[in-house]
Amino acid sequence: MENNPTRAISTVDSADLHPTSQKLAEFAREHGLNLAIKQFTVSTRTAQDAADAVGCELAQIVKSLVFVVNGEPTMALVSGANRLDLKKLAGLCEVGKKKVKRASADIVREATGFAIGGVPPFGHAQSLRLFIDQDFWQYDLIWAAAGTPNTVFPITPNDLKRVTQGVVADLRVA
């Protein structure tokens, strides 16, 4: 797909960003990344919305999904084209599937500092156990939420792994 720049306002200078995106940009700088945050006039709240706005494949979108596993907030970064296999996540966390529950909006905000629809893969309020979909490594660049429902940024899978210190795993439903 072609990038659709008419839908992007622009790559935004960090001083012009929403405060939650500024917080993310600062965290990234502290970890050796200069994020090229793009702000759109359309929503990037869902993986499909983000792919349409960016002009990339759905599989290049990072879904930041928060679950409560045995009482502990846990994040799975899943390719936009994939459905998370809860049994696989449970196995990685060494618990039964019944111990894995989707986090409420309140828990997501408390654990990450961000609202659902704009949760980035890092820069969270709390340290989270984190797993990364291995399917991202088929792409040079992937796109993740930048703290609001209309901002995203590109990142390489290797930089994502480095900054999050997440565990790369097979997370998708077969």
pLDDT digits (tens, 9 = 90+) for 52-62: 999 999 999 99
Residue 163 has pLDDT above 80, yes or no: yes
- Portion of the chain with pLDDT greater than 90, in percent: 84
**Encoded tokens for 173:** 């439903």
pLDDT category at 16 given cuts 50, 70, 90 is confident
Q: What is the pTM of this model?
A: 0.91
Q: Would you kindly state where each structural domain of the chain is located, as residue ranges?
A: 5-169
**Whole-angstrom distance, CA of residue 148 vs CA of residue 4:** 19
The reply to whether CATH 3.50.50.60 applies to domain 5-169 is: no
Stated as kind and residue range, the H or E segment containing 154 is strand 151-155
Residue 6 has pLDDT above 50, yes or no: no
pLDDT digits (tens, 9 = 90+) for 46-103: 999 999 999 999 999 999 999 999 999 999 999 999 999 999 999 999 999 999 999 9
**Whole-angstrom distance, CA of residue 174 vs CA of residue 97:** 16
**Encoded tokens for 12:** 């935004």
